[in-house]
Amino acid sequence: MGAEMDRLSAGSRSIGGISVFMGQVRDGPDGLESLTLEHYPGMTEKVLTALADEAVRRFSLTGCTLIHRVGTLPVGAPIVFVGTSSAHRAEALAGTNFLIDRLKTGAPFWKCERYHDGRCVWVDAREADDQASALWDE
């Protein structure tokens, strides 16, 4: 994470705010063991790049880093890193929030939860995520 923070703050003395969000696989009451994320290589990267480009334009960001892991991740493992920088903290914070909300609904990832008892459950889209993303519509 240190290298990503360095990239966000490098090259500009006009940066007044850096915002970072790192999500991780969380345990739940049902004994989650791991989360497997699948994606379409090529398509997923294009969507992530488009989201980052939109955030840079929309919030006047000076830096933007968006990393989303795929594969099987155990509980506690980092899954997503979003970092933004800008002249002012409000834009950096808004850019980070925008990216997290849009990632949940706009990026082509499929998630399967594996439990200690052997169950494997594909995660459905949540209405709350759609509602949060819709708040950013222009």
Q: Where are the alpha helices (DSSP H) in 16-124?
A: 43-59, 89-106
Q: Which domains does the chain have, with CATH numbers?
A: 2-133 (3.90.1170.40)
Q: Say what the pLDDT of residue 11 is.
A: 65
What tens digit of pLDDT does each residue of 6-18 get?
Answer: 788 876 778 899 9
Ramachandran region, residue 31 (left: φ > 0; alpha: ψ -120 to 50; beta: rest)? left
C-alpha to C-alpha distances, 115 to 29, 108, 138, nearest whole angstrom: 11, 23, 40
Q: Give the other-Cβ count within 10 Å of 44's Cβ.
A: 17
Full-model pTM: 0.90
Q: Say what the pLDDT of residue 18 is.
A: 92
What tens digit of pLDDT does each residue of 32-80 get?
Answer: 999 999 999 899 999 999 999 999 999 999 999 999 999 999 999 999 9
Q: How many helices (H) and strands (E) does the chain have?
A: 4, 7
Query: In the predicted model, what is the mean pLDDT of residues 105-115?
Result: 93
